[in-house]
Structure 1
Amino acid sequence: MSVRSYWAILPITFMVFLSGCMTDSTGTTYSSRDARRIQQVSFGTITELQNVKLEGTEGAVGTVAGAAIGGIAGSTLGGGKGSDIAAILGGVAGGVLGNMAEKELTTQQGVEMTIRLDTGNYISVVQEADPRAPLQVGDQVKILTQGNTTRVVRMQ
């Protein structure tokens, strides 16, 4: 396979690899391990919304994929020891860049909600914004809490 082929295929592979790291943390998405578990339920009204950014993950996937791509790309430069050094430097640089790319690609738009509970108390919950069902000030909501996880959904 030619050097040009690597440069065309590797970034696409990297993006597909990272897309598997993305999660959906909207109020209506559950993992399979969340099923069939008791949740505490509260009711309230959204009194304030603030858009926030949910930082992405910094995991091994981006680092390893970037290092592999950088190492392969670097090994195509020079010959002999020069090629080995270029592969090592390419691997290190690719690992750093891959880690940064993973963090950027997994960053999500979130929303911080201030909610007046029916009891009169106020709480604040941050979750991923759901463009399919955006919440608004004044919405009547159900607050579902299971352990350390809380999600907010609009009342039907």
Structure 2
Amino acid sequence: MKKPGYLFIALLVSVTLVGCTRGLTGTTYTRDEARRVQTVQYGTVESVTPVVIEGRNEGIVGTGSGAIVGGLAGSTVGGGKGRSIATVIGAVAGGLAGQAAEKSLTTSQGQEITLRMESGEILSVIQEVENDQYFRPGDRIRLLKQGGVTRVAY
């Protein structure tokens, strides 16, 4: 009997996890944010500090996918009760590994941008770095606000 391609399944899980990432850059918008009015303020970048934006740890995609792959792998071990136990252990281990993979794959490089607005107000916004391009002190920016979302853009 031919066993399923576990390498293919693991690759599929990885592609699924990467496909679920959502950008936090100043130029990434959700479908719901498109064609909505934003308020615009102008200002100048005072300072920029590199930060790490932690990955998602929701566990839905990573844990579920990992548990499936782990359970499938465990089901190929032994027979009878041993196979059942190996399936459960494989599912649990796979779920934990999948959760860790999801967090790692969705962690990104960010920047804390301190801004001096034309009104004199000083603000700080954290957003993902896009194409390794950091804002620099002295840059003129637009601060875009829509609902609870704020973006810094040129």
TM-score normalised to structure 2 length: 0.94
CA distance in 2, matches of 1:98, 1:36: 36
Q: 2:44 touches 2:117 (CA, 8 Å); kept in 1?
A: yes
CA distance in 1, matches of 2:132, 2:142: 17
Aligned to 1:148: 148
Aligned to 2:43: 44
CA distance in 1, matches of 2:90, 2:44: 53
Which ranges in structure 1 are unaligned for 5 or more consecutive residues?
A: none
Q: Partner amino acid for 1:127?
A: Q
Deviations 1:84-117 (A, max 9, x none): 1000010011111111110111001110000000
The alignment partner of 2:10 has SS state of: helix
Q: Partner amino acid for 2:120?
A: G
Q: 2:111 touches 2:134 (CA, 8 Å); kept in 1?
A: no
CA distance in 2, matches of 1:80, 1:19: 36
Provide the aligned C-alpha RMSD in A: 1.3
1:21 aligns with 2:17: no
The number of aligned residues is: 152
The alignment partner of 2:123 has SS state of: strand
CA distance in 2, matches of 1:77, 1:51: 46
CA distance in 1, matches of 2:15, 2:122: 41
Identity of aligned residues (%): 45
Aligned to 2:138: 138
Structure 1: which 4+ aligned runs deviate by more than 3 Å?
A: none
CA distance in 2, matches of 1:79, 1:45: 67
The alignment partner of 1:104 has SS state of: helix
TM-score normalised to structure 1 length: 0.93
